[in-house]
Structure 1
Amino acid sequence: MRIIDAKVIVTCPGRNFVTLKITTDEGVTGLGDATLNGRELAVVSYLRDHVCPLLIGRDPARIEDIWQYLYRGAYWRRGPVTMTAIAAVDTALWDIKGKYAGMPVYQLLGGRSRDGVTVYGHANGESIPEVLDEVARYVELGYKAVRVQAGVPGLASTYGVSADKMFYEPADARRPTENTWSTPQYLRMVPELFAAVRERFGPDLHVLHDVHHRLTPIEAARLGASLEEYHPFWLEDPVPAELQEGFRLIRQQTTTPIAVGEVFNSIWDCQRLITEQLIDYIRTTVVHAGGITHLRRIFDLAALHHVRTGSHGATDLSPVCMSAALHVDLAVPNFGIQEYMRHSTLTDEVFPHGYRFEDGYLHPSEEPGLGVEIDEELAGRYPYDPAYLPVNRLTDGSMHNW
């Protein structure tokens, strides 16, 4: 069996997705997600101009060899564009292997380690009462875990708070929207939010919160300590992760669990955080961390150091990526939780899939491969529409982390 075609499909059924479709001489096809929010066309070019021509004639069964060829062979290693492109190829090859074997991909990864994949949804609102109502809605839907984000008093907009509560999409303009940030006001609000959630929903609901890289280590330590009595499931991305030593200070000051890694693209980005047990959950993704092959390496390293998985799962990851993530989640022994932001009906029509949500759990398709396809004709009706993620400034106008 040989690869005879590798095609990049760009579509925008409400938001932009990049998909790689690989076809073999035996008519077996595989899909891989290649979406990099706000920088989609950089990956499109990397694939079309540099990777796809190199795949023609190769044996799709040699997944590890092709991964190493694309990683080592480029010389310029790592980075989000390169690793997203490699991820698309790798994921598509696993899809092909599953179809060729007549098995869902999780069976090729060792089979089930659990019956279902625990997921969390996003409850947000301009005010704490609005958030509580959204939490109630997720609880009614059967979620066992919910991320809570509330507007910060005095700020015109806040990360994680959206007009459409179910289909949050932060990439919202052809030029980046500029938000304003105040750490003191934020640090006053979050403990009030957690107190209100616990008062209404009790101790059993898993409650998560995303800081989105906005604090210094000492500020994050203060926040973590102030939340301990409310038993957060995790505090996500408390500080920018470039300075990994900063996580040591947080760890020394609070027992609130820490999650990080959605912007990581290789095992080297998180090696120290994992091996020195400075985090509790690693949030790397199939699409941004080199595909199923490399993600499994990261998760295996994490398993040796009591770190569990918590993969990113926002709407800028297509159903192809979500499906791939579920197969990995089902198989790895150190699974923690999976983020699950529902896609719009239109997106689901472009990417018909077999995974399903039931009683707080997601279940991957039992079809051979990943169990997700792309309707190319429908995808072609929705051309690329440029959209950027926002940027963030402090109240004095200084650039800050969004």
Structure 2
Amino acid sequence: MRIVEARVIVTCPGRNFVTLKIVTEDGVSGVGDATLNGRELAVVAYLEEHVVPLLIGRDPARIEDTWQYLYKGSYWRRGPVTMTAIAAVDTALWDIKGKVAGLPVYQLLGGRSREGVTVYGHANAATAEELMPEIARFVARGYRAVRVQTGIPGLSSVYGVGHKGDSYEPANAALPEEAVWDTALYLDQVPRVFADVRAEFGPHLRLLHDVHHRLTPIEAARLGRSLEPFALTWLEDPVPAELQDGFRLIRQHTTTPLAVGEVFNTVWDCHELITSQLIDYVRATVVHAGGITHLRRIFDLAALHHVRSGSHGATDLSPVCMAAALHLDLAIPNFGLQEYMPHPPEADEVFPHGYHFEDGYLHPSETPGLGVDIDEELAARYPYRPASLPVNRLTDGTLHSW
């Protein structure tokens, strides 16, 4: 059996998604997510011009060999564009392998390590008072973990907080919007919010918070220490991860668990963080970290060092990626949490899938393969729409991490 076709499909049912569909000579097809938020067309060009021609005629069963061919064979290794393209191929090949074997992908990865995948939702509001009913809404739906983000008095917009009750989608303008940031206001507000949340919801609800790379290590250490009384499950992306010694400094000052990795592309991006036990959760994703094959390598390394998974799962990842993540989540021994932001109805229609949410858990499809597909006719009704992520500036105009 050989690959005879590979199509790159771009669609925007609520937001932009890039999907690779691989077809074999026997008519078996597989899908892989190739979405890179705000840089989607860069991956499209990489796939169409450099990857798809290499796939025609290859044996789809040789997943590992194909992964190595696309990684080592390009010479220019790593990076988000390259690794997202490789991920799309890898995921589609796992989908095909599952269909040929007549098994859901998690069975090919070793079978179940748990009955369901614990997910966390996003509760956000402009004010602390408006936040409480949002958290209660997730609790009522059965969520066992909730990420808490709130507006900061004195700042007109804050990462993670939607406008007027809308779901949060940051890529919302053809050219980047600019926001203003003030670290002092943020560090003052966040501990107050979590004190109120714990007082309202008690000690057992798992709480998370995303800093989104905005602090220095000593600022993050201060925040982590101030949040210790509220027992967060994790503090996410406290600092940019390029300088990984920064996490060592944070570790010296706080016991609040740390999570990082949604922008990581390879095991080398998180090798020191994992092997030195500087983090507690690694948040790399199927689509940005080279597919199921490579993400499994990251999680296997993490398992040896008491680090658990916590994969990114915002709506900038398509249902194809979510389906793939769930199969891996179900199989690995060191699963921690899975982020889950439900897609809008139009996206669910374009990407029909069998995974489902029940009592705080997501369950992957039991159909052979990933259990997800793309309706290409429907996808064509939603053309690409340019959408950029924002940028951040301090109050004096200095460009700052968004």
- Structure 2 residue matching 1:13: 3-state secondary structure: coil
By how many angstroms is 1:132 displaced? 1.1
Tell me if structure 2 keeps the 8 A contact 1:166–1:341: no
Find the counterpart in structure 2 of residue 339 from structure 1: 339
Q: Which amino acid aligns with 2:358?
A: E
Find the counterpart in structure 1 of residue 352 from structure 2: 352
Find the counterpart in structure 1 of residue 308 from structure 2: 308
What does the per-residue CA deviation read over 1:259-282, in whole Å, with 9 as the maximum and x for residues that have no partner? 000000000000000000000000
- Structure 1 residue matching 2:50: 3-state secondary structure: helix
Find the counterpart in structure 1 of residue 111 from structure 2: 111
The residue correspondences of 1:206-245 to structure 2 (distance < 5 A) are 206-245=206-245
Find the counterpart in structure 2 of residue 163 from structure 1: 163
By how many angstroms is 1:217 displaced? 0.2
Find the counterpart in structure 1 of residue 133 from structure 2: 133
What does the per-residue CA deviation read over 1:95-152, in whole Å, with 9 as the maximum and x for residues that have no partner? 0000000000000000000000000000000000111110000001110000000001
Tell me if structure 2 keeps the 8 A contact 1:167–1:344: no
By how many angstroms is 1:167 displaced? 3.4
Find the counterpart in structure 2 of residue 374 from structure 1: 374
- CA distance in 1: counterparts of 2:141 and 2:246, whole angstroms: 38
The residue correspondences of 1:128-207 to structure 2 (distance < 5 A) are 128-163=128-163, 165=165, 167-207=167-207
Taking only aligned residues, the RMSD between alpha carbons, in angstroms, comes to 0.7
Find the counterpart in structure 1 of residue 27 from structure 2: 27
- CA distance in 2: counterparts of 1:279 and 1:165, whole angstroms: 33
- CA distance in 2: counterparts of 1:206 and 1:25, whole angstroms: 48
By how many angstroms is 1:299 displaced? 0.1
Tell me if structure 2 keeps the 8 A contact 1:152–1:158: yes
Q: Tell me the TM-score normalised to structure 1 length.
A: 0.99
- Runs of at least 5 residues in structure 1 that lack an aligned partner in the other structure: none
- CA distance in 2: counterparts of 1:53 and 1:131, whole angstroms: 50
Correspondence 1:400 to 2:400: yes
What does the per-residue CA deviation read over 1:294-353, in whole Å, with 9 as the maximum and x for residues that have no partner? 000000000000000000000000000000000000000000000000100000000000
Deviates more, 1:158-167 or 1:2-11: 158-167
- Structure 2 residue matching 1:59: 3-state secondary structure: coil
- CA distance in 2: counterparts of 1:63 and 1:259, whole angstroms: 30
TM-aligned CA distance change 1:165 to 1:294, over 3 Å: farther
- CA distance in 2: counterparts of 1:118 and 1:270, whole angstroms: 23
Tell me if structure 2 keeps the 8 A contact 1:123–1:165: no
- CA distance in 2: counterparts of 1:155 and 1:129, whole angstroms: 17
Sequence identity percentage: 76
What does the per-residue CA deviation read over 1:146-178, in whole Å, with 9 as the maximum and x for residues that have no partner? 000000110010000002757321101011010
Find the counterpart in structure 2 of residue 95 from structure 1: 95
What does the per-residue CA deviation read over 1:377-400, in whole Å, with 9 as the maximum and x for residues that have no partner? 000001100000000000000000
- CA distance in 2: counterparts of 1:174 and 1:153, whole angstroms: 28
State how many pairs are aligned.
402
What does the per-residue CA deviation read over 1:187-241, in whole Å, with 9 as the maximum and x for residues that have no partner? 0010011001100000000000000000000000000000000000100000000
Find the counterpart in structure 2 of residue 40 from structure 1: 40
Tell me if structure 2 keeps the 8 A contact 1:167–1:342: no
Q: Which amino acid aligns with 1:81?
A: V
Q: Which amino acid aligns with 2:342?
A: R
Correspondence 1:391 to 2:382: no
- CA distance in 2: counterparts of 1:74 and 1:165, whole angstroms: 45
- Structure 2 residue matching 1:8: 3-state secondary structure: strand
- Runs of at least 5 residues in structure 2 that lack an aligned partner in the other structure: none
Q: Which amino acid aligns with 1:315?
A: T
Q: Which amino acid aligns with 2:288?
A: H
Find the counterpart in structure 1 of residue 55 from structure 2: 55
- CA distance in 2: counterparts of 1:196 and 1:63, whole angstroms: 50
